[in-house]
Each structure stands twice: as C-alpha cells, then as structure tokens.
Amino acid sequence: MKKVKYILFGIVVVAFFVAGCVGTEPINLGPSEIDDTGNLDPDTPAYFADIVSDEDFIAILDELFLGGTLSTSFDISTLENGSLAKSLDNVVNNFSSIQEPKLDVTPYSTSMNDYDRMIHFINLIASKENLINKMKQFRTGVNNLLQYEQRYDYVVEITGTAKTKVENVLRHFKGLDPEYTVDHLYGDFRDIMILNLFIEPFIFIHDNQQKLITMIENASRTEEMGPSNFLRQEFITEVSSFTGAYPEVDFASPTYLDGLKTFLYNVSAISPDVNYLDLFDIFVNEAFVYTWVNDFIHLSDLLLKTIVEINNYEVSKTNEYGFRNDGKITLWTFGNDPGVDYMALTLEWYDEPLGPLPDGMTGTLNNQPIDDTMQVIDVLQTLDTVLPNGELNLTLSYSTPIDLEHSINVDFSLVVDFQKLNVPEIDLKDCNLKVNSELFEMLNVASITEFSTALYRIANDIYDPSDVVTVLYYFNFITSNLEFVSFNFDEASTTTTIVFEYNLENGAVVATLTLTFEGFTLPQLINPLSFSQDAISNLEYLGRLFLKKIEVF
C-alpha cells in the first residue's frame, strides 16, 4: 500500500513537472555579446545591430536628415533633447501629415521642389526591399523581448567588428569627432524600443508607395489649379435655383415656404437615402474620407507602448538624467556627457499630475476617477491598454445649483471603439448628423405662426396653458426628426433633458452632451426673466465662474 502511495506521488510530481514545462520554453533574446553583424538571428532583439549598420539604412538617414528631404518637418535633434513629449509630437505630426482627407488639400509653404524631393525619398525607401524586410523581421525580436518579464534588464555588449560599424554610424549622425570612441558599448532595452518606433514609418512608406505618390501629385496639382470643390454639383444647382427664385427670406410667405420645402426635399433626394437630409446630400463622396486609419492606430499603439515601456525602464534603470545606473554607455547615450547632458525621455514629465478638475466637475477615464492623483503616465498607460482594439471611455460631469429649487447638470461622454475604428478608411459623413424629411412638413404658415406665437406669449409672460402645450408639441416634433438631438420634459419633476449626440459609423466614435435642467418649468426655460431677481443674479454669476474655470482648466 505504501508503495502505491509513492507511485501515485511520483506520477503527480512528474505531471506537474511536465505541465510546467509546456509553453515555458525560454525566450531567445540572442547573444549576450555581438562581435559582428550579418549573421544575427532576426527573431531576437540583438538584430538591431544588423539594421543600424546596414548601408541602406545609413543611406536613407543621410537623405532624410542630411539631404534635407524632410528638414522642414522633422528635426533629429529633438530626439536628443530629453523631451519625449516633443519628440513624439514630431513623430505623430509627421505621420499624421499624410492622414489628409481625400480632398485635394494644399500643404502650407510647400513648393514644387519639395514635392519632387518627397517623391524621391518615397521611391528611395521603396527600393530598399532587403532593408524593409529586415525591419519587419525585427518586429518579431521586439515582440519576443516585450514578452520577457525581466525585459528592462536586457543589455548586450557590442564588440569587435560590430562595435566599429555601430560607432561609425553613431559618430556620423551625432556629429562627433571621427576619432571618438568608448571602451565598452552596449545596446539595451531603451535602444531597442527607440529603434523599433523609428523604423515603423519607413515600413509604412514602403508598403504604401504608390498611394503616397498619388496623394502628393494630387496636392501638387491642387497648388497649381486651386482646390477642387467638395460640394456636390447637384447641391450647388439646387441652392442656385432656390436663391435665384427667392432672393429674400420671408417665413410669412406661403410661396416662399413652399419653395423652401421643395428645395429641402430635392436636396434630401440627392443621395440614396431619400428620407433624410444628410451630409451625403451636400458633399462629394471623397469629402471627409480619411485613409490609413488602421495604420495610424497601429503607429499610435506603438508610440504609446514605447512611451510606457521606456518610462518603466528609465524609472528602474537610470538616474535622474537618463544615464544608466551601472554606467554602461548605450547607443542612446553614446557621445553624451553624464555631467552635462540630459538624456531621459520621460522622467521630466511622466509623474506630473493632471491637476484637479474645476470645482463642481467630476470625470472618469475608463472608470478611473480623474483627480489630482492621476498622473500623465496613468493616462498613457490607460491608452496603451486600450489600443489597438479596445474601448476608451471618457466622462465629464458638472453640476451647479442655481438656488434651492433649481440646478443645471452638464454631462459629457466620449466612447471610442478602436475595434470599429481599426479599418483602412473612415468616412466622417457616415454619422447621425441627419434630418428626417418629415420635419419639412412643418414649413407652412399655420404651423410657423402657431409655434412662434406661443413662444412670443411665453417669452412675454402673457401665456396660458395651451401655449405651453403647443411649444412642447413642436419641441418634441422638431427634435424627434433630428437624429442627433433628443428632448424630454417631465412635468411631474419639472426636469428637462436635452441630449446632443454624434455617432460615427455605427458606434466607432460616440460623443454625447447631456443638459439637465432640474426644477425649471418650461416657461422658465424659455423666459429666464420669470425667475426671481436673486436667482437671475446667481445664474449670471455661476455662468461667469464656470467659464473662468473652463479657461483655467
């Protein structure tokens, strides 16, 4: 019996050992020392040495920074001045500068010579097929490194021929003396993350060569010929016909109102959805269409992950100036003086508090309260967890009492579903900014007279209950035919709720503004003068105070 117990115990131990070994194969991070290039494993982070020393990579950097191709929009020195925020702004701005709508948009201060140089640079990158393949393979090594729990400890010494090659490149681009050298040179986690971020735009340019050239050529023609009209010709024709027939606005004229109604029906029939007047009825198909959205999200994801990871590295592995605690000189700090230069990318700003919200305002970011304990890095970490396919939720609320019986609440929410946004193309016209054509039936003398008369009587405090009923009816009728507005008045609690919503592409982006007026009768909302003078003075004071708070925030 005792022997059976030992056997069972042995089986359990072996089972746990086998289970523990499954899927726990050590991550291959490459050699601990790089003495030459050209034979490094592309699936390891050590592959960085092959990219940095690649002659095609050096040629591209020469063209980019020394040849002046993008000198008007990118300054390499910003990557060495210690401010990652500025550096990242430059990277994002450079990438987002090609995220123009499909309209022909003329860039500021761009000459034909600039266009030619940009096309030349794109073609140069596209011709470096082997280099781009190296860069794409490097992604695997970086991803392997990011899965490693002790990734911030990653450091590899560069020796021999590899050291000679890498130092030549660093001296060249950092403007150092040709004889400058160090006894020991290392590549570490921060170097890997910076390089990984830096090469991504080159991959994008290579993969989108023809699209980018076409966009630049269109921009060049636009500069010569002027911007093309982004309004639909059918819409322009309808507007011209209507304004030609009715040069004067006259809402008391049945003829004018009939003409206006016909005009709006005609416009709403321009696009296939004839029941609504929407942006497709007004603008050409190419207007407000943004391409490469998924690529932009990918780069944003990479950008945020780089910031967060480098911050974790610098907090744990460097001194306050960004130099390694162990004194090792890396690609990033090569040629810099630890006693003079500031090389930290995130330490200067990562722990800055967002600051308290204005009095009376509360907010959350993905269910985390926004208060004076939330730091900049907390926001970036939240965004890092959301991208590329998660959901971002921002809420802001402001409540202010007018007096003991009246208060106003303002609530704003923003929901960004990156899974829905992570597509090649987004059309900003595809949203709920549309008007149901049933609303046009209100355009008659009887309805307009009835509505305006009731409003006038309430505003001048000479109304009776039937006027309130009339105004409520028209408020409900109008807002029920506006897809982006809703209105509700609860007579029992004297609470009015007005909601404005922008919904892009079935929930990819939803921005909602809700105004809640508590304790107000409908006449009080229409005619604030019906308040007591004390309440009016308090409302004016709170309004000025709120605007000042918003300006400060």
209-225 helix and 189-207 helix, angle to the nearest 10 degrees: 70
Whether the CB-CB separation of 223 and 110 falls below 8 Å is answered with yes
- Please report the pLDDT score of residue 383 as a whole number: 93
Residue 538's pLDDT band, with cuts at 50, 70 and 90, is: low
Residue 74's pLDDT band, with cuts at 50, 70 and 90, is: very low
Q: Which residues contact 225 (CB under 8 A, 6 or more apart)?
A: none
Residue 127's nearest CA partner among 31, 228, 57 is 57
Do residues 120 and 260 share a domain? Answer: no
- Looking at residues 496-505, what average pLDDT do you find? 95
Query: Roughly how many angstroms between the first and final C-alpha of the chain, as a whole number?
Result: 76
Q: Which domain holds residue 388?
A: 353-434+483-551
Q: The tokens of 412 are what?
A: 């704003």
Q: List alpha helices for 349-416, DSSP H.
A: 376-386
Give 464-471's long-range contacts (Cβ < 8 A, gap of 24+).
Answer: 468/522, 468/523, 471/522, 471/526
Do residues 70 and 177 share a domain? Answer: yes
Do residues 166 and 236 share a domain? Answer: no
Residue for token pair 């890092």: 384
Residue 29's nearest CA partner among 135, 134, 144 is 144
The least confident of 31-35, 399-403, 419-423, 542-546 is 542-546
254-268 helix and 233-245 helix, angle to the nearest 10 degrees: 180
Do residues 178 and 254 share a domain? Answer: no
Looking at the 3D structure of the chain, how many domains does it have?
3
Q: Which residues contact 530 (CB under 8 A, 6 or more apart)?
A: 461, 523, 524
Question: Counting every residue, how long is the chain?
Answer: 553
> What's the one-letter identity of residue 102?
K
Please report whether residue 263 resides in a domain.
yes
Q: Compute the chain's Rg from CA coordinates.
A: 32
- Please report the pLDDT score of residue 196 as a whole number: 94
% of the chain beyond a pLDDT of 90:
63
Residue 531's nearest CA partner among 540, 545, 516, 469 is 540
- Please report the pLDDT score of residue 226 as a whole number: 57
DSSP for 87-138, please give it. HHHHHHHHHHTT--BSS--PPTT--HHHHHHHHHHHHHHHH-HHHHHHHHHH
- Please report the pLDDT score of residue 77 as a whole number: 37
Residue for token pair 């409302």: 539
- Looking at residues 59-88, what average pLDDT do you find? 52
Please report whether residue 375 resides in a domain.
yes
> What's the one-letter identity of residue 111?
S
Look at 475 and 215; give whichever has higher pLDDT.
Answer: 475
Per-residue pLDDT at 117 exceeds 70: yes
Look at 551 and 206; give whichever has higher pLDDT.
Answer: 206
Domain final residue, candidates 222, 241, 257: 222
Please report whether residue 77 resides in a domain.
yes
Do residues 271 and 397 share a domain? Answer: no
Domain final residue, candidates 243, 275, 307: 275
CA distance 351 to 122: 39
The least confident of 106-110, 150-154, 313-317 is 106-110
Residue 309's pLDDT band, with cuts at 50, 70 and 90, is: very high
- Please report the pLDDT score of residue 399 as a whole number: 86
The least confident of 403-407, 498-502, 508-512 is 403-407
CA distance 51 to 54: 5
Fill in the DSSP letter of residue 389.
Answer: T
- Please report the pLDDT score of residue 227 as a whole number: 56
Strand order in the sheet with 33-34: 33-34, 155-158, 185-188
Residue 149's pLDDT band, with cuts at 50, 70 and 90, is: very high
Q: Which residues contact 398 (CB under 8 A, 6 or more apart)?
A: 358, 360, 361, 409, 410, 411, 546
Do residues 259 and 400 share a domain? Answer: no
Q: Which residues contact 81 (CB under 8 A, 6 or more apart)?
A: 87, 342
Domain final residue, candidates 192, 222, 252: 222
Residue 218's pLDDT band, with cuts at 50, 70 and 90, is: confident
Please report whether residue 296 resides in a domain.
no
* Average pLDDT score over the chain: 83
CA distances from 62 to 55, 79, 133, 173, 384 (A): 10, 16, 20, 8, 33
CA distance 110 to 223: 9
% of the chain beyond a pLDDT of 70:
80
Look at 95 and 521; give whichever has higher pLDDT.
Answer: 521
Residue 159's pLDDT band, with cuts at 50, 70 and 90, is: very high
CA distance 440 to 262: 9
- Looking at residues 76-88, what average pLDDT do you find? 39
Per-residue pLDDT at 316 exceeds 90: yes
CA distances from 149 to 52, 145, 155 (A): 26, 9, 14
- Please report the pLDDT score of residue 137 as a whole number: 94
Per-residue pLDDT at 89 exceeds 60: no
Please report whether residue 163 resides in a domain.
yes
Do residues 209 and 250 share a domain? Answer: no
Residue 355's pLDDT band, with cuts at 50, 70 and 90, is: confident
246-282, pLDDT tens digit by residue? 999 888 899 999 999 999 999 999 999 999 999 999 9
Look at 228 and 318; give whichever has higher pLDDT.
Answer: 318
Please report whether residue 518 resides in a domain.
yes
Please report whether residue 456 resides in a domain.
no
Do residues 110 and 84 share a domain? Answer: yes
Do residues 396 and 248 share a domain? Answer: no
SS (H, E, C) 401-457: ECCCCCEEEEEEEEEEEHHHHCCCEEECCCECCCEEHHHHHHCCHHHHHHHHHHHHH
φ/ψ region of 335 (left if φ > 0, alpha if ψ in -120 to 50, else beta) reads left
Per-residue pLDDT at 19 exceeds 50: no
Do residues 181 and 265 share a domain? Answer: no
- Please report the pLDDT score of residue 233 as a whole number: 93
Please report whether residue 87 resides in a domain.
yes
- Please report the pLDDT score of residue 224 as a whole number: 62
- Please report the pLDDT score of residue 72 as a whole number: 38
Do residues 146 and 212 share a domain? Answer: yes
CA distances from 103 to 112, 231, 280, 386 (A): 19, 11, 15, 31
- Looking at residues 173-187, what average pLDDT do you find? 94
Do residues 127 and 44 share a domain? Answer: yes
Q: The tokens of 75 are what?
A: 């300054």
Residue 361's pLDDT band, with cuts at 50, 70 and 90, is: confident
- Please report the pLDDT score of residue 372 as a whole number: 86
CA distance 396 to 401: 17
Per-residue pLDDT at 464 exceeds 80: yes
CA distances from 6 to 9, 158, 205 (A): 5, 52, 64
Fill in the DSSP letter of residue 507.
Answer: T
Look at 137 and 220; give whichever has higher pLDDT.
Answer: 137
H-helix or E-strand containing 299? helix 293-317
- Please report the pLDDT score of residue 527 as a whole number: 78
Q: Which residues contact 321 (CB under 8 A, 6 or more apart)?
A: 338, 341, 342, 343, 344
The least confident of 61-70, 447-456, 498-507, 525-534 is 525-534
The least confident of 169-173, 198-202, 534-538 is 534-538
